[in-house]
Structure 1
Amino acid sequence: MSSKVWYLDLKNKPRYASINDLIRRLFEVSGTAGVLDEGDLTAIKVHFGEKGCTTYTNPVYVRQIADMIKSAGAKPFLTDTNTLYSGSRKNAVDHIMTALEHGFGYEVTGVPLIIADGLKSGISTDIEINCKNLKSVRIADGIASADSMIVISHFKGHIVAGFGGAIKNLAMGCATAEGKRDQHRVLQPVTDVELCTGCGLCAKICPENAVTIRDEKAVIDEDLCASCGECISRCPADAISFIWESGIAPFNERLAEYAYGAALNKMDKAFYFNFIVNVTPDCDCVPWSEHQIVPDIGILASADPVAIDTASRDLVNGERGFKGTLLKTNHEPGGDKFRGTWAHTNPDIQLKYAEEIGLGSMDYELIVVD
């Protein structure tokens, strides 16, 4: 049976229509309130964006959904988890400061802000999943303990997963730092010594002190490395990369398994919103924002995270891509935009495997909201 995905088309919205009003309309028409009960402590899972990134979901848009949750009688709070890599969201103090600087304070969103895994990402709940790669997952207690959950995702590209949407927001976004390490550990960064300039930036930023400079080349200690990928995204010489051939499939499978674990106790108590705007090549975890690869498309809502990500992928691929961006191939409508951006990825793996383990369905019915 196909899952329903509601589609708010921003390309063809009436000239004088307020996006805020349209978001509230989408919430009503999609029946989001049906997953909420009176008095629910409702986690609004968002991504506050790394400092330097500007394409995270607009907090004013988040406010519209938060207000509708309160109107349904629930008690919402904004939440996210601390990062595995170093940066502006490594601990709850820095994380909250970054969220406030990006506009996610109470004065804008109207709801409190809680970092779900505690001060240093040490507060988790183990959830048994018994999947192929992982038997249990470590989910932030503030999310696992919530009565219901609304997941708001900025749909965009990702250097390993191909794209990041609802599934990735559940998987990485709901996991503690150790849980993130569970997902990343199948990836191993390696140094191309011919490209490496020995600048030392990778050694400086590595959160695990796994990189040293020897004979003016970066050397990575596999036993210490957490495979967070920060050295890859920050290397000015593009001298560090993952071993893509062996890492892409197991990473995406673990991603799907963690998403399944995060949603497992909320299968009937969660709803998902994907904002397909500012579709950048990179995750909002990087401290910058590249040019978007396709025009703004719209906002989707669904009770099925697999269906909403599949529909989001299809809508992005249906657009004509922008040239002069990191999208190098597949510009034509119907071309795979994420493989055109990151040729080594396979963005279908997370969808197909997530469906296989029971997270949702790739078969969807797209319902355009008037």
Structure 2
Amino acid sequence: MEKAKVYFTSEVSKDSLVKMYEALGVELPGKVAVKLHSGEHGNKNYLKPEFVEALVKRVNGTVVECNTAYPGERDTTEKHRHLMDEHEWTKYFDVDIMDSEGPDMVLDIPNGHQIKKNYVGKHLANYDSMLVLSHFKGHAMGGFGGALKQLSIGCASSYGKAYIHGAGDPEKDMWKTDQLQFVTSMGDAASSVHKYFDGKIVYVTAMVNISVDCDCDGNAAPPCMENIGILSSTDPVAIDQACIDIIYNSEDKGKEQLIARIEEKLGVNIIRVAEENGTGTREYELINVD
């Protein structure tokens, strides 16, 4: 497979988010979903609305989210909407909680390693294209969160999240699922959403506020590394692999905490499985656009 192109800038600003999208030379058609993380109550690390405003408006996008499968301030549509008001997403953008009504949309994964179906928010069908706007950081269960996590856990309905966490058994205690089966399910689920949009999907990832914890943690650890920059690609496998490589090659000693979490949780298997499913390639060319 030909190497994927991953664009990088060390400039962290509202304008550089737009610049990195435009570096792709792609105009997303029709009604555009912008998948990002709305941030759990109490989290301080998530990408704030004012930071992403220019990019979301550049693509005339609707911010989309789905409810969680664990207890918190985002596990029902009513609570999730309240939190999105509190975090000012609704002040800046049109917002759509995609699983606010059922039934879920079911995406088949015929070549899935662990799961053969992915249950996503019903409203996904209302969009012609998607911008996946990721915040790269650690994750207590997946090891790290990036583009592939946004595609998998992020686009899954509340039921779909339980299905992925249970590696195909939504009734299973998500905290006791075999770790390799869980991250394999993430890679499978991610492939189904990427393929659903059939080339009408792009990825922008901000490597800022890099904590060992996810934005879903209301008491997340403070950042362990300095801000690194912003990346973009049309390939979710390549952009996540590039982020991982940048972390490993960094001279920032804070990386040791993040690497330990990624390795403990077998996180790179999310990337491996997604590549094996034909979602993209781990071979990439990093193009500096500073």
TM range (shorter): over 0.9
Opposite residue 89 of structure 2, the aligned amino acid is: F
- Of the three residues 127, 150, 154, the one matched with 2:131 is 150
CA deviations on 1:254-312 (whole Å, 9 max, x unpaired) are 00111111222213100111110011111111112312122110111111110010001
- Of the three residues 95, 99, 112, the one matched with 2:94 is 112
SS at match of 1:265: helix
**1:173 aligns to 2:173 (yes or no):** no
The aligned residue for residue 206 of structure 1 is none
Kindly report which structure 2 residues correspond to 1:98-137, keeping only aligned pairs within 5 A, or say none.
98-106=83-91, 109=92, 111-118=93-100, 122-130=102-110, 131-137=112-118
Aligned-partner Cα distance in 1 for 2:171–2:185: 20
> Is residue 162–residue 171 contact of structure 2 (8 Å, CA) maintained in 1?
no
- Tell me how far 1:145 sits from its aligned partner: 3.4
The aligned residue for residue 281 of structure 1 is 212
Change (3 A) 1:150 1:52: same
Kindly report which structure 2 residues correspond to 1:185-224, keeping only aligned pairs within 5 A, or say none.
185-186=166-167
> Is residue 339–residue 347 contact of structure 1 (8 Å, CA) maintained in 2?
no
- Tell me how far 1:225 sits from its aligned partner: 5.0
The aligned residue for residue 360 of structure 1 is 280
TM-score by length of 2: 0.92
- Considering only aligned residues, what root-mean-square deviation do their CA atoms show, in Å? 2.1
> Is residue 274–residue 301 contact of structure 1 (8 Å, CA) maintained in 2?
yes
Aligned residues: 288
Opposite residue 115 of structure 2, the aligned amino acid is: L
SS at match of 1:30: coil
- Tell me how far 1:21 sits from its aligned partner: 2.1
Where relative contact order (Cα < 8 A, 6+ residues apart) is larger, the structure is 2
SS at match of 2:23: helix
Aligned-partner Cα distance in 2 for 1:142–1:224: 24
Aligned-partner Cα distance in 2 for 1:143–1:54: 28
Unaligned runs of 5+ in 1: 14-18, 71-75, 189-222, 230-241, 332-336
TM-score by length of 1: 0.73
Opposite residue 136 of structure 2, the aligned amino acid is: F
Aligned-partner Cα distance in 2 for 1:251–1:98: 28
> Is residue 99–residue 105 contact of structure 1 (8 Å, CA) maintained in 2?
yes
> Is residue 49–residue 284 contact of structure 1 (8 Å, CA) maintained in 2?
yes
- Of the three residues 112, 121, 134, the one matched with 1:140 is 121
Structure 1's consecutive aligned runs of 4 or more residues displaced over 6 angstroms after TM superposition are: none
Aligned-partner Cα distance in 1 for 2:263–2:18: 37
The aligned residue for residue 77 of structure 2 is 92
> Is residue 167–residue 259 contact of structure 1 (8 Å, CA) maintained in 2?
yes
The aligned residue for residue 197 of structure 1 is none
Larger radius of gyration: 1
Opposite residue 303 of structure 1, the aligned amino acid is: T
> Is residue 339–residue 345 contact of structure 1 (8 Å, CA) maintained in 2?
no
**1:52 aligns to 2:46 (yes or no):** no
> Is residue 134–residue 257 contact of structure 1 (8 Å, CA) maintained in 2?
yes
Aligned-partner Cα distance in 1 for 2:262–2:20: 32
- Of the three residues 139, 142, 167, the one matched with 1:161 is 142
Kindly report which structure 2 residues correspond to 1:6-21, keeping only aligned pairs within 5 A, or say none.
6-10=7-11, 19-21=13-15
> Is residue 108–residue 117 contact of structure 2 (8 Å, CA) maintained in 1?
yes
The aligned residue for residue 296 of structure 1 is 227
